[in-house]
Amino acid sequence: MATTPAFDMVLFGGTGDLVMRKLLPALYQAHKAGLLHQDGRIVALGRKNLGRAGYLAQVEEKARPHMEQGFDPAAWTAFVERIDFHKLEASASDDYAGLAQRLGSDAQRVTVCYLATTPDLFTTICEHLAAVGLNRPTVRVVLEKPLGHDLESSCDINAAVARFFQEDQIYRIDHYLGKESVQNLMAIRFGNALFEPLWRREWVDNVQITIAEDIGVEGRGEFYDKTGALRDMVQNHLLQLLCIVAMEPPASLEANAIRDEKLKALKALKPFSAEDVAVKAVRGQYKAGAVSGKPVAGFHDEANIPADSHTETFVALRAEIANWRWAGVPFFLRTGKRMQERLAEIVINFRGVPHSLFENPAGQHTANRLVIRLQPEESIRLYFLAKEPGDAMRLQSTHLDLDFQSMYKVRRADAYERLLLDVIRGRLALFMRRDELVEAWRWVEPIIDSWEHSTVPPKSYTAGTWGPAASTGLLSRAGAAWNEEA
């Protein structure tokens, strides 16, 4: 792959967790793979007067342990050369002239401003950048989630940012779209003739999308208590995955062609009424239990969680897409913290045959299943029935495997690396457009409202399980069951 153009990557929130755990390690991997232009600088911003040496000491301590794929001291030394530190108080307008001066006035140079800060600073930062000319066409802003707390605050942020930057300068990141298997899903759907005729209500019984995590709130208690799983995972990651499964084939791979189709899928999501929330949505909260054999605390015992918190750490929903392709097909969405294992997958359960000729028809209802696994390993598995060896004409379930790990020995870029490279190259296809975000918020809002006004607490589940029993009930009422096969 060709290297990027020359660039400046300006990291707001330069000393924060995201920069240390994800962004610098991702940039390091891109550097090591020779994908960054030689003239590519990283300028980390922070409030304290750390100086370059002070900042690099932090990088050494906090970022270096997150280099996942083999550490190369020589590459690291060369990578660190790219990093500089600049003292800047994000809300102080006077500080921006110095930043502009440091970056220089080359109007052709790509400048990426990554806003790894809380969203309440987004508007201020954009305004101050614009005031010193750092909104010229080659400047791009990357907005991290959460982009607002609800529909109104998200619209406010988007409107404010739009006063200073054009839509094609704004990169709203959802790192799930950068995962290899998500793009593979597009390849499978639109690169093969095999699935498309079956990819519809006539042949699909139900779709399941699961993002299960075994970790808890990981020291983010205060943030998480105000956020909850619906805002943290469903509004963005799960709905983006749903879009990729459900959207119509785009006219091309051009960013707006893809985003137009995703938007239509979001708009076709059936809104939840208050009654729907009661029967089609399950919220849960973990209590103490054990994950991988180790005892873990319950949500209420985590730091900064009020004893009476009703914040959900688990969500299961039965969504429906009201259009010709999907009418009546349940899309089951599920996510949770402290679940049995880390697992992210999309399951397409196809309908059974209309009439069985065989001795053991049990299990034929969803005989054909396509399982696209995103985590912990990427794979695609197609289940079907075949004859059991022997005299009798008996069927058994078997599968075809596409195991990407063993099939392709090439290095695989992590989601942040791919997305950062896309920003520098100016590719918007894997980022969310403003109208997509509005629709996603519009759809989750009635569920949020209903839960916020409810006096019924979330259903509790033991840490280390697959969530509350009600989540199983949600599917069994539709004659389905979660795919829990390893």
Contact positions toward ligand BG6, by CB under 6 A? 175, 213, 232, 344, 375
Closer Cβ to ligand BG6, 10 or 217, answer by number: 217
Question: Is 237 a residue of the active site?
Answer: yes
Q: Give the nearest distance from C-beta 332 to ligand BG6 in angstroms.
A: 19
Within 192-342, strands assigned E span 204-212, 281-287, 289-291, 294-296, 314-320, 330-336
Nearest of 98, 153, 158, 168 to residue 131 by alpha carbon: 98
Q: Give the nearest distance from C-beta 133 to ligand BG6 in angstroms.
A: 32
Closer Cβ to ligand BG6, 91 or 304, answer by number: 304
> Do residues 201 and 329 make contact, with C-beta atoms less than 8 angstroms apart?
yes
DSSP letters, 258-295, are HHHHHHHHHHHBPPPPHHHHHHHEEEEEEESEEETTEE
Nearest of 371, 404, 440, 376 to residue 174 by alpha carbon: 440
Q: How far, in Å, CA of 32 to CA of 23, rounded?
A: 14
Q: Give the nearest distance from C-beta 30 to ligand BG6 in angstroms.
A: 18
Q: Give the nearest distance from C-beta 106 to ligand BG6 in angstroms.
A: 34
| CA–CA–CA angle 308, 312, 314 (5° rounding) | 140
Q: How far, in Å, CA of 113 to CA of 428, rounded?
A: 15
Closer Cβ to ligand BG6, 205 or 232, answer by number: 232
Q: Give the nearest distance from C-beta 13 to ligand BG6 in angstroms.
A: 15
Closer Cβ to ligand BG6, 124 or 375, answer by number: 375
Closer Cβ to ligand BG6, 344 or 447, answer by number: 344
Closer Cβ to ligand BG6, 210 or 483, answer by number: 210
Q: How far, in Å, CA of 105 to CA of 125, rounded?
A: 19
**Closest residue to bound ligand BG6 by CB:** 232
Closer Cβ to ligand BG6, 232 or 276, answer by number: 232
Nearest of 13, 10, 14, 18 to residue 43 by alpha carbon: 10
Q: How far, in Å, CA of 240 to CA of 148, rounded?
A: 17
* CA atoms within 13 A of residue 255's CA, in its CB half-sphere: 19
Using the Cα atoms of residue 138, residue 32, residue 254 and residue 258 in order, give the sign of their dihedral. negative
Q: How far, in Å, CA of 263 to CA of 438, rounded?
A: 10
Residue 393, Cβ density class (10 Å: 0-12 exposed, 13-18 middle, ≥19 buried) = exposed
Catalytic residue among 66, 175, 237, 355: 237
Bridge partners (DSSP) listed for residue 349: 206, 369
Q: Which residues are catalytic?
A: 237
